[in-house]
Amino acid sequence: MVDSNLQKMKLEEKINRCHNQLNSLRKEVAFAKRRVDDLEESMMISDSPPESDMNSQEHELERKIYCLCDENAHLKAELRLLQRQIFLLKKEDNLMNSTETAAATTAIATTATATATAAAADDICRLKSSRNSNEQICANIAELQHELLQAREALFATQADQKRLRHEKAELFNQMKELCDALEKKENHIKEFVRTLEQRVQESDMQTKQLLWEKQKLEAEYSKATEQLSKANQQLSAQKQDLTKEQQENSRLQASLKEMQGRFLLLTGKTVYNCEGANSVSLGSVAVQSDDESSPVTDSEEPHFLANGGAFSQHLKSSSESTLKDSGAAFERIPFAYSFRRCRSRKDAHAEDNGNRLSKLLHFAKSKAKGCESLDSFSEHDPITQELNLAERADYLLRARSMPLSQWKLAHITAWLRLEMGMIHYVKAFESNVKSGKALAELSDFEMENTLGIANPMHKKKLRLALDEYPSIRV
């Protein structure tokens, strides 16, 4: 009995130890489940965890699984031992039952045996409870195995998810690499574009500086041309004033000449053109005539005077003295008047010659300006025609500045293009396509590029700014 009690106590201790181990195993499985859940949550939060952390977590889980498997094997071994001990206890219980039946048949039981049998019954109850607890331990072990299988499946699922995430991470890494390469190419392209843009801006600045310098030069030449033109206009006005004065003097002298001719007719009865040549009067014939030569003339003309009647002879006798004085004064003034007339005629001829030459020169310049296409090589090397053309264009430009743009003609447009804008190589296109200032004001960028051939954006912008902002040519 004492041995059986000791065995029962040992069995109870072992059963308690098994319960403790099962509880610790349950705690570890719950801890492993919790760790797996935390790992899944961390994997869901961070789509691409670091590879080192994933590897360390995987190794830790595998180690824990191996530990759980070892503990499961130990528990199975202990379970076999407990089952063996339970089998032995059942066997002893059967023996004890047989002994109890034997003691009942003999009926020689004492109080000590009764108490022993009571203790044995208590031991049997305890064995039955321990059997129930062993069955519960087996159920718990089966449940733990099932949970372990679920943990393995969850682990395999997490490994598959890790592989999938690694694959996705590799794809995302390749996409990011391609995106970085594309961004680098775009950045290089933008840098190249900025570099070319800066070079073009520098070139445009140099071109604008050169254009400003050319404009200043042309303005200086234009100021010189305007000064020369003003001087030429002043000289022309002075020559016109001299010419008017000479014409007035000439008309005055012609009136005095007619007066002398009338006096000569009254004195001699003949015109000046009938004396000594029938067409002109010479100073020598008038100065050499004597009284003897004049008397035959009067005698030869006596029938004419007689035919006129006696009134004229009486008037001639009564005014002989006054006519002699008048004739003397007239004959004294005739040589002076004649010489003065010859001098004035020379001056008039000289002035007329100058005027004819100037008109011929102007006519020649205009004809050259009209036929500039055929005589272009000659007009380029002719300084007189160049000055005349420049003066004429400057005159047209001055007129154009004093009138609105809609009233411009082709000459104003060409003068403005040559002198003001400096676009000489577009003059022919403007002459053939733009005939008035209204058409010039309504020009569009498409017409400038396709009709006039202005392909340079700087020239186009210069012309557009001049048409829009220059105050002297607004419509």
Domain ranges of the chain: 201-266, 403-472
Contact between 272 and 258 under an 8 Å Cβ cutoff? The reply is: no
Contact between 253 and 341 under an 8 Å Cβ cutoff? The reply is: yes
**CATH class of the domain whose range is 403-472:** mainly alpha
How many angstroms separate the CA atoms of 49 and 35, rounded?
A: 16
How many angstroms separate the CA atoms of 20 and 468, rounded?
A: 102
pTM of the model as a whole: 0.25
pLDDT tens, position by position, for the chain (475 residues)? Answer: 556 567 667 767 766 776 676 677 667 767 766 776 776 666 555 544 444 555 666 666 667 666 766 766 776 677 677 667 667 766 766 676 666 565 555 555 455 555 655 665 666 676 666 666 667 777 777 787 787 788 788 888 888 888 898 899 899 889 888 988 989 999 999 999 999 999 999 999 999 999 999 999 999 999 999 999 999 999 999 999 999 999 999 988 888 887 777 667 656 655 544 544 444 433 333 333 333 333 333 333 333 333 344 443 444 344 444 443 444 444 344 343 334 344 444 445 544 554 454 454 445 444 544 544 444 444 445 556 666 677 788 888 888 888 888 888 888 888 888 888 888 888 888 888 888 888 888 888 888 888 888 888 888 888 888 887 654 444 4
- DSSP conformational letter for 419: I
How many angstroms separate the CA atoms of 239 and 60, rounded?
A: 121
